[in-house]
Amino acid sequence: MFDKILIANRGEIALRVLRACKELGIATVAVHSTADAEAMHVRLADESVCIGPPPSKDSYLNIPNLLAACEITGADAVHPGYGFLSENARFAEILAEHNLGFIGPKAEHIRLMGDKIEAKRTAKRLGIPVVPGSDGAIDDVDEAMKVAKAIGFPVLVKAAAGGGGRGMKVAQTADDLALAISTAGNEAKSAFGDASVYLEKYLQKPRHIEIQVLGDGRGGAVHLGERDCSLQRRHQKVWEEGPSPVLTAAARARIGETCAKAMREMKYLGVGTVEFLYEDGEFYFIEMNTRIQVEHPVTEAITGIDLVLEQIRVANGADLPATQDQITISGHAIECRINAENPETFRPSPGKIQRYHPPGGLGVRIDSAVYQGYTIPPYYDSLVGKLIVHGKTRAECLMRLRRALDEIVVDGIETTLPLFRALVRDHDIIDGDYHIHWLEQYLSGVDRDR
């Protein structure tokens, strides 16, 4: 097993990884920017190294400084968390060149799935159903028009290098297509340095359903059920739950097995998420994330499997923790992403947390790196913490979530807590009757047609 892991991240996920390392008896190294010197992950790690000034590109994304930190501390592996360098294939290769372990998939798989066009091609080849669209990148508007007419408007123009919902534009009709292509291309160029875009049929009221997978890198792989992440704002997930309120056990087993089989064929290593849109009983692959996800605790709650711990174990050559038959889904879990944002305008609200009281009790988990008196810096994402609630049924889970949301106190900054307190009492939410546009319609106050 690894002796010492350097955690190349910050915030709640750094803490989450640290906890798994502690349970495995592995020493930990925290890295931090000058803005995070007082952060919880720094306080709890065995050792810490300052790797640069506040901007991420100079610290958390600074590969030479991360390598130096490994060298100074004698760490033998790096856990990248999510975001930052977690889906950077070159980083994984550089670590290997320095005889350092990377806790994540093989570099070739990170690279393959990082290119959404290649990812879709691979998915199709492996028997995973994909969204109808262009076969590859779109080179000119005439070609795009032919594809769009064949699949039918509205269509979505998406960046090949996309992520975080950037580089995506809808063309409702043929008149919008040229503009959508140039806007998406420009956005992609400035965000990712790659202007290539492709076309997809724009689905009207799908749900976002994703399958959690785990592979041993030698041809063994299992799936751990799904998470429904349809409640989104600007393509960013806000609330995630599992199992999905609309999936039957048979449908779950079918799509889960399709994904697991694909992972076996690829000899995929580590945790991964195969993301789908789901409409009228059909699944359509959109992308695969080759890292641990923010919403992984939902799956942990309903399967009892510690995904981060298993991710570390398989990276070290261990066998999978269970066979597919041994993995069972038990009860229901919901995660709320509590952000330091105004709950109506969503303007970031960094600052000092004056009072903090996390909720507790049976089935309630908080993954957060904040504490009373902590100042949320303005440089990074605005996640204050994740509230994850588990119950025997969805109804019990909602009941418990309502109670936990009433109990939690975060004073001094604005948070999205009031939004969750309203959502958990909304009839559509209680009925599980929502799709990927529901939340934006709810927020804009328009009449909600289902």
Could you list the residues that contact ligand ADP (CB under 6 A)?
131, 156, 162-165, 200-203, 208, 232, 235, 275, 277, 286-287, 436
**Shorter beta-carbon distance to ligand ADP: residue 201 or 332:** 201
Report d(CA 115, CA 131) in Å as an integer.
16
DSSP-assigned letters across all residues of 45-90: SSEEEEEESSSGGGTTT-HHHHHHHHHHHT--EEE--SSTTTT-HH
Identified catalytic residue from 291, 313, 365, 400? 291
Residues 6+ apart with CB under 8 A from 353: 370, 371, 372, 373, 374, 375, 376, 384, 410, 411, 412, 413
Shortest approach of ligand ADP to residue 38 CB, angstroms? Answer: 32
Q: Fill in the DSSP letter of residue 320.
A: P
β partners of residue 4: 27
Taking a C-beta distance cutoff of 8 angstroms, is the pair 297, 237 a contact? no
**Shorter beta-carbon distance to ligand ADP: residue 66 or 203:** 203
Asked if 291 is an active-site residue, the reply is: yes
Taking a C-beta distance cutoff of 8 angstroms, is the pair 183, 203 a contact? no
Q: Could you tell me if residue 81 is left (phi over 0), alpha (psi between -120 and 50 degrees) or otherwise beta?
A: left
Report d(CA 357, CA 222) in Å as an integer.
38
Shortest approach of ligand ADP to residue 279 CB, angstroms? Answer: 9
Report d(CA 339, CA 425) in Å as an integer.
20
**Shorter beta-carbon distance to ligand ADP: residue 184 or 364:** 184
Shortest approach of ligand ADP to residue 107 CB, angstroms? Answer: 19
Q: Tell me the Cα Rg of the chain.
A: 21
Pairing of strands 221-233, 236-242: antiparallel
Shortest approach of ligand ADP to residue 178 CB, angstroms? Answer: 19
**Shorter beta-carbon distance to ligand ADP: residue 91 or 434:** 434
Report d(CA 331, CA 214) in Å as an integer.
21
**Shorter beta-carbon distance to ligand ADP: residue 87 or 216:** 87
**Shorter beta-carbon distance to ligand ADP: residue 126 or 409:** 126
Taking a C-beta distance cutoff of 8 angstroms, is the pair 372, 315 a contact? no
Shortest approach of ligand ADP to residue 290 CB, angstroms? Answer: 12
Taking a C-beta distance cutoff of 8 angstroms, is the pair 189, 170 a contact? no
Residues annotated as catalytic are 291
